[in-house]
Structure 1
Amino acid sequence: MRNSRSDVVAAALLVLGEHGLEGCSMRRVAAELGVQPGALYHHVPNKQTLLALMADEIVADVGRTSGRGVGRNVDGVSAGAQVAAAGDLCRALRSAMLRVRDGADVVATAAAFRLGASRVEAELADLVGPSGARTLLLYTFGHAQSTQTRLQAQLFGALVGESEASESPGAAGASGGAGAVGESAATLDASFDEGLAIIIRGLR
């Protein structure tokens, strides 16, 4: 059966979960599909494009149900409500990235490759303007990347005094989700919310 572009993206995400971003090569994606690497280029012209498609899949549901369609000049919608919706969008974005191993690196890297704004950035811009959207995105990307790095370090016992926490029953998904290391993950979540609150106060 001939593979589709969506099959290639799905295989790439499986490889990402198994090997992380550094090990997510076109050769491994092709092996996952049982084809030669050259066959992938019928669907994606290069790895950068594949990375962008993976990023789109990771954040596919972000903003689809809450805050979507709320524009800067919509009648009856207060500025405070729009800024609050932007905060909710950032929390949803961070959660989506943390559910996938190295998801924050994938989405942030894909955003850097693009010449134009991503869908999520465009939705944030509708709520808080282009500059506010960019500020929120950079903060969310940076915090999510730091969170995933820390959780992965805990999982592998790289942080002194935290190896026991990484071996707790919920630690198996530390390479992906923020809820993987119990209280440590909760502390990181709280840290994100504190920083987000500072930015939101400034936007208001």
Structure 2
Amino acid sequence: MDTCEITDSAIAMLDDHGTVIGWTQAAERLVGYAPEDVVGRSAALVVPPSDEAPTISAYVVRCRAHNGWSGTTTVRDRNGQLLNVSRRVSMLRGADGTVRWLVSVTDIGTLARGAATNGSMRESLLTRAPIGIVVRDRQLRCTWVNDTMESHDGIPRERRLGRRLSEAQPGFETEAIEAVMWQVLQSGTSRVLEYWPGP
């Protein structure tokens, strides 16, 4: 993990009941709550209910069942706005058996805007990567693609940007790939899928 990754991430710590017990400046910048506003309160203040975890208790149960949780989700800021974020929850065990949850959250929108406006180091590295990389939004529309991917599958950048894979390259295989992408979005669980695009 590079320094940029750490700096961009909002970090919070929860106890095993879902109460906030630690809060960073990055978390305050992300959602607008100062430590005194949120520490000692339920994480439900910033974590909206979902089908997977309708309550904070259910959220903790799910995290415990999987020894953590990662994927994309939303958080609620101080103004009630929902932000799309990438989230990783890690279990920490104390010597006395107590459990704490370290929550790392990165605003997906900020990363996308930063890459677009600042020509960030991250995008520069991705652009030069020897493997094809495509970035998609939550509707599976392409928002960014590197040159390697364009030359690998032959789909021009202008045909890809703003479109889903099934729109840029219609066919049964692309629809099957999108079905897996939807599953990942809904479950928050990563999947590895091998796919060899045609000429």
Shorter-chain TM range is: under 0.3
The TM-score, its normalising length taken from structure 2, stands at 0.26
User: Greater strand share, 1 or 2?
Assistant: 2
Structure with larger RCO (C-alpha < 8 A, sep 6+): 1
Q: TM-score, normalised by structure 1?
A: 0.25
Between Structure 1 and Structure 2, the one with more helix by share is 1
